Structure formats: C-alpha cells, structure tokens
A and B are shown apart, each in its own frame.
Chain A
Amino acid sequence: MAEKSKFDVLVVGGGMTGSWAAKEFTEKGYKTLVLERGREVKHIEDYSTTNNAPWEYKHRDYDTKKVKGEQYMQSTKYNFDASSKQFFVNDKDHPIESPKNKPARWFRGYQSGGRSLLWGRGTYRMSDYDFKRNIQDGNGSDWPIRYKDIAPWYDYIEEYIGVSGTNEDLDHYPDGKFLPPFDMNVVEKEVKKKLENHYTDRKLVPNRVAHLTKIKPGQFYGRSECQTRDMCHTGCPFGGYFSSNSSTLPAAKRTGKLTLVSNTIVDSVIYDEEKKKVIGVKVIDSITKERSEYYARVIFLCASTLATTGILMRSKTATFPNGLANSSGVLGHYLMDHHKNIGGSGVMDGFEDKYYKGFRPAGLTIPAFRNIYSREKDFLRSYGVYGGAKREGINPDQVGIGKEFKEKLTRPGAWTMGLYAYGECLPYYENKVEMDEQKKDKWGFPILKITADFKENEMKMRKDMKEQVYEMLEVMGLKDIKVHDGTHIMGDSTHLTGTARMGKDPKTSILNSFNQSHDIKNLFITDGSCMPSVSYKSPSLTFMALTARACDYAVKEMDKGVF
C-alpha cells in the first residue's frame, strides 16, 4: 500500500469525539487521518441556510410529502426543518430496523462535524454519584473511573469549547470553568424564588450550554460571541456555539498534520492475528463504491454509538468471531438513551411591562433531586428538569378577526413558563443492537436492528416526573397548568450510548479505564458507546472529556513505543 495511506493515528468519524481526537493527536505532532462517511461541511461556507429568513423557504417550516418520504425518521426530530434538513441523513439510504412493538429512532448527521451541528448544547459534568450508581444498585458494570480521573479533562474541554453557566456548589452537579450565564428573564427570576423557598433540595439555574457569552481577546480562535439568533441547527457563522466545524476541526487543520477524507465509509477494521493489533481499516467510497485500505499505528473509533458497534460487528476475525474486541460478548448490549416527552406549562399573571431581547438558545435547569443521597422512591436513578419562561408570540388560536384583532396579534402575549423532564435509563442486557445479515444497505452493509425499550423502572420514574412537573409549576405560582405525557421511544433523545462499554473486568466490558480495548491494545473507542451508564445528563461533555483523556494516554504509550 502506498505511503500516503499510512498514518500515525486513524480516527473513524469526524463528529463530536473524532474531531477532538484529531485535534489532540495533530497538536502533539502525529500524522492523523480522519475518515468521515459523509461530506465535508466547512465552517461558515457550507452553512447554506444560515442567513435565510423564513420567507426564503418555498414551504416555510412545513416538511413536504417528498421530504417526509425521504427523511421519514429524521424529520421527527425537534430541530429538523427546511433550514437544517441538509444536515440529516436520507432514511431511505440509511434504514434501520426495530420490532413493531419496540420502535426506535436513530437521528444521524453524516458530515464532518456530525451531530455537533445539531446538538442541544447542554454541557454537564457527571459526578461520583453518577459514576457509582451502577455498582451501588447492581445494574450494569461499574465505571472504571471516578470523578477525580475525569475532572481535569472536564476543565480542559470546557475551557476550550466555552460553556456558559453558573457554579452552584451542588456535589452531584459539579461546578466547572464557566463563561457568564445567559440572563434569566423577570418571570424566571420570580419563579426561581418561589421554587427555592419551597424546596430545600431544588434549584432553578441557567442551563449550562456550550455557547460563548463573553470572550476575552485571544480566546476561542475564529469564533465570536453568541448573537442569540437561535439558529444553531443551521450551523452558526459566528461560531457562537461549539461545533467540531467551528472549533476542533479547524484547530487540527492548522497543525498541518490532519488528513480529512470524506465520503468514505469504514467497512471493517483490519486485525493482525500474529501481532494481535489492529493495523488499518477497509473502506468504501460512498459515491464511487471503490474499495481501498488505510493503515495506522493506533485506531480510534469515534463513529457514534451504533455506527462504531456496527463496524466492530462487521470486523469478524478468527480470534473474534462475534465482532472485533468482543471477547466479553457484551458488544451491542446495554443500549441506553434518555426518556423524555413529559412536560407541562402554565401562565404567569402580570409582568406585562417587561420583555427580553434576543432568542436565548438555552433555558434553565433544575438539577436532579430524586434518589441522590439515598433511594427514596419506588424507582432507581433520577431525572433532570429543564424549562424557561417566555412571552407568547403570535397566537392564531384565539377568538377574533379583523383590524383590531390583527393589531392584537402583534403584541407580546402572556408570560408562560414551561418545564420538561429527561430521565435516566438503566443499562439492560436485553436492550441491544445487532446486524440483520439478511438485509443490506446500498453499500452492501447489513442493516442494524435495534431491539430496545424503556422498562418498569423508567415507567415508574415517568410517573414521578409528571407529578413533579405539575407540582413545581404550582409552586412557581402559575395558573392554567397543563401537563403532558408523550411517547418514550429509544433514540428519541439522540443520546444512544452504552454498546461497547468501559469496565474494570475484561469479561464484562469492552474497554478499560482509558477507553482502550481490553483485547487489542492499539484500539480505542471514545464515542457514546463507551458509557457503562448514561446518568440523566446529556453525555456530550463526558465523551469529549473521555476522548481527550484517552488521547493523552495513547500519546504517552506511543511516545514510549508501546504501539
């Protein structure tokens, strides 16, 4: 194979974690290849819709029958619309399977930057309460790390990506290196007082989000402060929120050590049975379907939870007949997501002479308050509550017609406050992803079949979530309170995790405490698949931190000549 195909490090996937790996290795001087199965999306120049006004879209925010036909799954995501659909896959080309009684969703962005263009930007540190849950209640395998192991890496990531938020001195919701928070509006300040006067165990705080609220000269190269357009899902030309495209990928490129190859799907990882190492990957060009191979000393799989799992399952060898690095047999199992779609809202009287300026792309959080210090409910684990207050905008669903009504429509309406909850899902062996060898996609790869659902523990938690949302809205002094209890579909929260988990014991886990394969020393996995539990917190910050930490470890091993 030609020399141009040999690299120090090969990273599969140019999304949230892969781009961190690219940055870390290239900045240490290593020649790094990133293989991206989708197209390259360049910061600013490829944000094709970001300056469009609603009237510039033929169908405005409606998904046409054609779009719903092609993106039948992706179009169910909350931030999918005419302005963002180019960052989601075509479901017809990328089908998944799930049993009828266990529907599943897999939201995907196949492009450089991946779903970092589409994420909700919630940025939370897991605490030791989270890291110890599995060992405490006996579900899943113990995390091989504790907070002290990851805390410096949380610092490192937060300072680089920019996270706005407040320090709250809650041991289960660790403080961090924050930029100033977004303001709370007048109603939010009012309900915060009421909530915190009523409960001793709850706080209403600005959500921690990866937005640049304040920049000092020299910080955040190439990015500028958030302009509160709330257009994040179109790609931000200001770099106001963290995406790989605006931050880590350009940093890796600046080193001159990065090779980014797009439109290239990894078929499988090549394992050398004698050396007991991985030596490269087989790929297929997604457009020409031409096959080739790339080689490297170290391989990082950062393709996303399900994609990485699929690659390992396709990489069968004599030593690993059930999937590469899968001597434990847990590959594909313990799939988790957060369960959501429980929320409510109410109306706040008064404050009619107050408003706000800007479309704050972030809300508020009530960090978890259930089962933190001891088990106090009939379910295990916990949930977080999110929300915010705003004035009603254009309200067509009211009585009135004619001149005066038309004028009335243009006035800010009543203040409403909404809350919604996200709950933790236990790791269950039977929640799994596998390959359906009978059905192939257009590149000849077996389609992934997801068999997973939320179970009794999550259902009990949901009952409490709903009750507490109602109770807290009442405590906040709201009227006309409405709560809803919607669907709970695996994958709907876009936090699929857990199918190639870390652990202390090679018999029950795939990865060690440095995200290194127990079986194959020069193979690392740092995307969401590595998580033994998902906690109730959005996982992006944690797997970014785990990636940087794994890179640091791998660099030291490489420098020592271990691989």
Chain B
Amino acid sequence: MERREAVIKISWILKSAFLAPTLLTVLQSCQDQVLSARELLVLSDDQDDLIIAIADTILPRTTSPSASDVKVDRFIDLLLQDVFEEDVKQKFLLGLLDFDKDCESITGSRFLELDTSEQYTYLEKIDKEIMEQEYDELVPFYYTFKHLVITTYFTTEQGVKQNLNYMPIPGAYVGEVDLKPGDKIIIGNRM
C-alpha cells in the first residue's frame, strides 16, 4: 500500500474521558518523569512545540492572543498529569505522534517543518475530514485536541476578556435583548 493512500492513522479516545467527570478507577502512573528545561510536567519540548504549532493554527494571534499566548499548551500538560487517566494520556500522546507521522506521509514534512501557510493548508484539510463527521463515544485524537484547545482558551482570562462579553454579575435576567452584528457571546464565571 502506498503511504499517501494509507488511511490516516487515528488514535481514538473515549469522549467521556475528556468531556465529563467519570467513575474510572484511579490509576497512578509509576513512570519516572524527566523534567524538561521548560518545566513541563508530562510533555517533552518537542511535543510541546507541536502542540503549540497546531493550537496556534487553530487559534492564531489576531487582535486577541493566540492559543499559546494564553498557555493552552501548559494547561494540556497539566491535564495530562493531573486529570487524564493513564490510558487516556497514552492515547493522547500517541495521537499527537500519529498526527505528525500522518503529516509527514502526506506532505513529506513534519508539521513543525512546514511554514505557517502550509500548516494552515494541511490542517484545514485534516480538520474538515474529521470535524465533518458525527461520532458517538469514540472520537479521533484531533477532535479531542481541538476541543481541549478551544475550551481551554475560552476559560483563560485574556481568552475571555479579549474575545467575549464578560459579565460576571449580570443583574436581573432580561429574556429578550436585541443582538446587533458584532455582538459577542455573553459569558460569566460559571464553569
């Protein structure tokens, strides 16, 4: 089978594992971890770079910060250590690796070796393929990744305050207000 025609390798992740609290048994990781120079918890510098590159392609810097400007990558690193069960963590890291391998087999280059516009073009295609489909319990790595990047971004202070209509104390509820072009989502402190 030719590499280019190979089905994209997808690491599948249980949706409930990263979307909602579950009743999974706690598994403690016994692996020794090598601290990176960046003081990452789980990720290697290379993995972190790749996460930053994909995340910033999804949410680039505009008039508001990019995903990595608000340290979305560091929060994912924290989740990998403190929140995800060992099997989910491994699937996530495997998914990241597969993402890069797929990129290499399709474009001839690893994602980080592409320039910004090539990264955009490649990711746009992948994004469309994956996000157009409906899933049940299992979702592909990229779906998980994108979900994490976006939901994390919009729980950071700058992500919220520079993009949305932050209203921590709305006052009395008003059931009908006009929405004008350009009006943003109103968001408060409820998580």
A: residues with CB less than 8 A from B are 51-55, 57-66, 68-69, 72, 75-76, 80-83, 182-186, 188, 213, 225-231, 352-360, 391, 393-394, 396-403, 405-407, 409-412
Contacts and interface: CB of A to CB of B under 8 A. Distances in A.
Interface of B: 21-24, 26-28, 57-60, 62, 64, 75, 78-79, 82-83, 85, 120, 123-124, 127-128, 131-132, 143, 146-147, 149-152, 154-157, 160, 163-164, 167-180, 183-191
A226 B170 CA distance: 10
Contact of B190 (A69, A231, A396, A399): A231
A57 B174 CA distance: 29
Contacts of B187: 393
A355 B82 contact: no
Contact of A357 (B60, B83, B154, B177): B177
A399 B191 contact: no
Contact of B60 (A61, A182, A229, A403): A403
B188 A63 contact: no
Nearest to A83: B191
Given A64-B82, A213-B172, A355 B190 contact: no
Contacts of A229: 168-170, 188-190
Main secondary structure of the interface of B (DSSP, over half): loop
Contact of B21 (A55, A63, A397, A400): A63
B185 A410 contact: yes
Contacts of B180: 353
Contacts of A66: 82
Given A62-B79, A358-B174, 9 more contacts: A52-B189, A54-B189, A59-B83, A76-B21, A226-B173, A353-B179, A355-B186, A399-B128, A405-B58
A113 to B, nearest CB: 20
Closest 10 CB pairs of A and B: A183-B175, A396-B150, A358-B170, A61-B191, A358-B173, A355-B179, A357-B174, A54-B155, A69-B26, A399-B131
B176 A401 contact: no
B181 to A, nearest CB: 9
Nearest to B75: A60
B177 A60 contact: no
Contact of A53 (B23, B24, B64, B189): B189
Contact of A358 (B21, B82, B163, B171): B171
Given A185-B176, A354-B177, A402-B60, A394 B185 contact: yes
A357 B175 CA distance: 7
B124 A356 contact: no
A183 B174 contact: yes
A94 B79 CA distance: 27
A183 B171 CA distance: 13
Contacts of B128: 399
A464 B174 CA distance: 34
